[in-house]
């Protein structure tokens, strides 16, 4: 499946010309959430509880900028994408090389839908701009 064919399974693409590649479709960053209190996972699911999170705000470098930046310190965050995925068969979601080469990453996932994804930030931190392409959606091998 080509990147163009993947668009059939994705809504909310920010800029198709930039996001669609030969083999994949890049997903863009919409929101970053900081984990405040721990969630719970038990054996039977009766005590399952979500972690509480707080959305992180962005800062504009210049007042006339259209988009702001997240300044993330080392740690774990949950991120949301602008795009919504709806596929019958699992697709592969992986970290873009541009993010990974700066020390940040998320797990590779097989998805039919994409909810919040955990994002690991390196000890030096990272700056991420609103709508940054951080992940790539691919057809399974």
**Per-residue pLDDT tens for 39-65?**
999 999 999 999 999 999 999 999 999
44 is a domain residue: no
| Structural domain harbouring 63 | 3-38+51-138
Please state the φ and ψ torsions of residue 37, each to the nearest 5 degrees.
-130, 150
Note the pLDDT of residue 14.
98
Q: How confident is the model at residue 141 (pLDDT cuts 50, 70, 90)?
A: confident
**Residue 95: its pLDDT value, please?**
98
Read off the pTM. Answer: 0.94
Averaged pLDDT, 89-116: 98
- 45 Cβ contact list (under 8 Å, min separation 6): none
Question: Is residue 45 in some structural domain?
Answer: no
Confirm whether 91 is domain-assigned.
yes
Confidence of residue 107 (pLDDT cuts 50, 70, 90): very high
Residue 95 lies in a domain: yes
12 within domain boundaries: yes
* pLDDT confidence band for 127 (50 / 70 / 90): very high
| pLDDT tens profile 70-97 | 999 999 999 999 999 999 999 999 999 9
Is the residue at 67 inside a domain?
yes
Number of domains making up the chain: 1
Residue 82 sits in a domain whose CATH number is 2.70.40.10
The 10s digit of each residue's pLDDT in 11-46 is 999 999 999 999 999 999 999 999 999 999 999 999
């Amino acid at each position: 499946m080509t990147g163009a064919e993947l668009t059939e399974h994705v809504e909310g693409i920010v800029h198709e010309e930039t996001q669609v590649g030969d083999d994949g479709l890049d997903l863009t960053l919409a929101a970053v959430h900081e984990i405040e209190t721990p969630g719970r996972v038990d054996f039977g699911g009766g005590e399952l509880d979500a972690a509480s999170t707080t959305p992180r705000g962005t800062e504009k470098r210049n007042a006339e900028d259209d988009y702001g930046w997240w300044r993330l310190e080392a740690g774990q965050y949950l991120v949301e994408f602008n795009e919504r995925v709806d596929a019958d068969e699992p697709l592969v979601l992986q970290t873009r090389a541009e993010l990974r080469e700066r020390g940040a990453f998320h797990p590779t996932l097989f998805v039919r839908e994409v909810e919040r994804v955990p994002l690991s930030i390196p000890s030096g931190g990272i700056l991420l701009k609103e709508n940054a392409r951080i992940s790539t959606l691919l057809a399974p091998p």
